[in-house]
Amino acid sequence: MTRRMPTYFISHGGGPWPWLPQMRAQFRNLEASLKAMVAELPDLPKAVLVISGHWETEDFAVMSAAHPPMLYDYYGFPQETYSITYPAPGAPGDLAQRTASLLREAGLPTRLDARQGFDHGTFAPLYIMFPEANVPVYQVSMRHGYSPEEHFALGRALAPLRDEGVMIVGSGLSFHNLRMFGPAAKVPSEAFDTWLDDVLHEAPARRTQSLIEWEKAPYARVCHREEDHFVPLFAALGAAEGETATRIYHDVGLMGGVTASSYRFG
């Protein structure tokens, strides 16, 4: 019998960091946490479903390619990082269609997308977690507008997949203001991270409401000028809404001043 998979919200690091030795050293704590995630799983996943802060559409799109291409959605890195490959297969069998059906049953606008490729919010952390690319990987997009309620609903709709061997990962960053990486990030990222940890340890119903109202958090719009890297949290938690949150990664002073965290639910 398949055991229920936990869900995760991860801070996924910057660009193609696993392939750049200096960046990889900077993200050594993140790397350790990603490896520990795999070690703590009840079984090898049937597939990993990623909601990445780097893919949003007008609806909720489900990646359906058998062999998804690569999407190099970063700028200013060495030329060799634009030929990286992460050759994991896409959703196995009818899993993409099963996923889309769950979303439609929940009343969410949904379509299959056979062209979308793995973005770095997916292939960078997955390379650390499953370096042999031997576990199928597929993505579900965020929806334009970033509605917290809709993305909690997305997670709730995806929840049955956890009992079918699918590992659900919301991939973003708990602090994402590219203009403030460095010492200027210290105060706002620490304050926001403290608020987030406090909220995630509230009772489930209160926790959900606090996150829906996340803009009331200290420095909310300083830490997230746009919430594309925060929204994946709503989906990951929606799929495990009544379950315990555990912080599995915490860095202070990252990239010169950033405090960042990752969480497991369940």
Q: What is the pLDDT of residues 110-131, one digit of tens each?
A: 999 999 999 999 999 999 999 9
CATH of the domain at 27: 3.40.830.10
pLDDT of 170 strictly over 90: yes
183-236 residue pLDDT tens: 999 999 999 999 999 999 999 889 999 999 999 999 999 999 999 999 999 999
Residue 97 lies in a domain: yes
Cβ neighbors of 61 (< 8 A, separation 6 or more) are 55, 110, 111, 112, 113, 116, 140, 141
Residue 49 lies in a domain: yes
Q: Are 138 and 62 in contact (CB under 8 A)?
A: yes
Q: How far apart are CA 139 and CA 235, in angstroms?
A: 12
CA distances from 81 to 17, 176, 243 (A): 9, 22, 38
Domain that holds residue 94: 7-265
CA distances from 76 to 18, 56, 81, 163 (A): 16, 22, 10, 41
Domain total of the chain: 1
Residue 1 lies in a domain: no
Residue 84 lies in a domain: yes
Residue 61 lies in a domain: yes
Q: How far apart are CA 231 and CA 233, in angstroms?
A: 5
What tokens does 260 get? 């960042």
Q: How far apart are CA 67 and CA 89, in angstroms?
A: 5
Residue 2 lies in a domain: no
Q: What is the pLDDT of residue 1?
A: 61
Confidence of residue 76 (pLDDT cuts 50, 70, 90): very high
Residue 118: closest CA among 134, 133, 138:
138
Q: Are 183 and 23 in contact (CB under 8 A)?
A: no
Confidence of residue 260 (pLDDT cuts 50, 70, 90): very high
